[in-house]
Amino acid sequence: MTPFSPWRCSVCGYVYDPQIGDPDNGVTPNTPFEELPSGWVCPACGSPKEIFELM
Ligand SMILES: [Zn+2]
């Protein structure tokens, strides 16, 4: 696994791509999933990081 592996929300299928980040929620591009703030949630369905799975 690399720092820039994409992670998928197991609830809604949203994919977090570290090379894109989540600009709408203040996450800049090139932010590895592991470095997302603990309060970050799936921007599509609001689920917590814990339910994401490595693709
Ligand atoms: Zn989701």
What is the distance in A from the centroid of ligand 1 to the CA of 38?
A: 16
What is the distance in A from the centroid of ligand 1 to the CA of 41?
A: 8
What is the distance in A from the centroid of ligand 1 to the CA of 51?
A: 9
Contact 4, 54 (CB under 8 A): no
Query: pLDDT tens across 1-55, in order?
Result: 567 899 999 999 999 999 999 999 999 999 999 999 989 999 999 999 999 999 9
Amino acid at 5: S
What is the distance in A from the centroid of ligand 1 to the CA of 15?
A: 8
Angle (nearest 5°) at CA 32 between 30 and 36: 110
Q: How much is the pTM?
A: 0.90
Q: What is the pLDDT of residue 21?
A: 97
